[in-house]
Amino acid sequence: MTLIEKLYPVMKPWLFRLDAERAHTLTVKMMIMAHKVGMLKSVVSGPQQPRSVMGLTFPNVLGLAAGMDKSASAVEAWGALGFGSVEVGTLTPRPQPGNPKPRLFRLPEHQALINRMGFNNPGIQSAVKKLRNRRTKAVVGVNIGKNFDTPNEDAVKDYLICLKAAYSVADYIAVNISSPNTKGLRDLQAEGAVRDLISSLKKEQAALKQEHGKTVPLLVKIAPDLNDMQIEALARVFNEQNIDGVIATNTTIDRESVAGHRLANEGGGLSGAPVRERSTLVLQAFRMLLKEQIPLIGVGGILCGADAAEKLKLGASLVQVYSGLVYRGPGLVREVLETVK
């Protein structure tokens, strides 16, 4: 067991006494420091099992989900810990502060989080600068969105700005149209809106491919709160537009599974164990509807190795975690990688 794995259970009670966002900021700072002084050892021992997906070689199947490293300031540290990929962001064209605090809450009884961060981020250019000189074996995805004050009619422009800015530094780009914390964002999942958005981005991707001489896959991240008709419509668009991959899923606005909890009615997206089942159902539905060559990344409620194995069995080519890392610490990375070996 590495030092960081031993330390996390000792530190967790202290961290959980702090406000959730404060604890998050502190943990990431400590990770960066530990990496700088060479204290951060990979939890991965022995040979890795690389996966080739979308023309990229992922050192292993486990990725860090978007939102943990919104500013792309710790990609080396996450890679050093053992993650095969790191999805930074969501990044928007202009920097923005996000929603007023408090905006992140723990529901330990449910191994869950509720967040309404609202895309607090330093802007796409700042992240691009940081990623230019990165030194990590991990695949780096850049998750992009629109500014909170950009009307939906102009949303395509925001995504295009981010795509163009990030193309040269990203291994893949994730188009986030599923955060519940930016007003109207999820409306971009409607068939007409998503078709307009994806076709514009695919056109730009083709132009950028010529300019840069490399293909950067374009993925879409979707919500778990979609009915069958919405899922079918989205799959139709993804197939017709030849999207390079789909990330299922973001957080849920449904509160049924945490009803009665004192924080259940906090606004925002619920993540962790309560979203797992719905997330996996959506993943399975897309696997059935999407063309075989379109891969899926499974995310939502992975709290142990078996949860990750289930998503991989039911159609995911890769998996990601966020809330599980808060509750389980770096031990989760080892457990997932040992389970799916």
How far apart are CB 280 and ligand FMN at their closest, in Å? 11
**Beta carbon nearer to ligand FMN, 147 or 179:** 179
Q: How far apart are CA 2 and CA 38, in angstroms?
A: 12
Q: How many CB atoms lie within 10 A of CB 47?
A: 7
- HEC letters along the chain: CCHHHHHHHHHHHHHHHCCHHHHHHHHHHHHHHHHHCCCCCCCCCCCCCCEEECCEEECCCEEECCCCCCCCCCHHHHHHHCCCEEEEEEECCCCECCCCCCCEEEEHHHCEEEECCCCCECCHHHHHHHHHCCCCCCEEEEEECCCCCCCHHHHHHHHHHHHHHHCCCCCEEEEECCCCCCCCHHHHHCHHHHHHHHHHHHHHHHHHHHHHCCCCCEEEEECCCCCHHHHHHHHHHHHHHCCCEEEECCCECCCHHHCCCCCCCCCCEEEEHHHHHHHHHHHHHHHHHCCCCCCEEEECCCCCHHHHHHHHHCCEEEEEECHHHHHHCCHHHHHHHHHCC
How far apart are CB 38 and ligand FMN at their closest, in Å? 29
Are the C-beta atoms of 164 and 204 separated by less than 8 Å? yes
How far apart are CB 272 and ligand FMN at their closest, in Å? 5
**Beta carbon nearer to ligand FMN, 107 or 113:** 113
**Beta carbon nearer to ligand FMN, 43 or 86:** 86
Query: Does residue 323 have an active-site annotation?
Result: no
**Beta carbon nearer to ligand FMN, 41 or 310:** 310
How far apart are CB 335 and ligand FMN at their closest, in Å? 14
How far apart are CB 90 and ligand FMN at their closest, in Å? 4
Up-side HSE of residue 230: CA atoms within 13 Å toward CB? 15
**Beta carbon nearer to ligand FMN, 176 or 205:** 176
85, 179, 279, 317: the catalytic one is 179
Up-side HSE of residue 240: CA atoms within 13 Å toward CB? 13
**Beta carbon nearer to ligand FMN, 169 or 173:** 173
- Phi, psi of 154, rounded to the nearest 5 degrees: -105, 5
How far apart are CB 271 and ligand FMN at their closest, in Å? 3
Question: What residues make contact with ligand FMN under the rule CB under 6 A?
Answer: 65-67, 70, 89-90, 104, 113, 115, 117, 119, 143, 176, 179, 221, 250-251, 271-272, 275, 299-302, 321-324
Nearest to 180 by CA among 298, 99, 101: 99
Q: Which residue is nearest to ligand FMN (CB)?
A: 67
**Beta carbon nearer to ligand FMN, 41 or 104:** 104
Q: Which residues are catalytically annotated?
A: 179
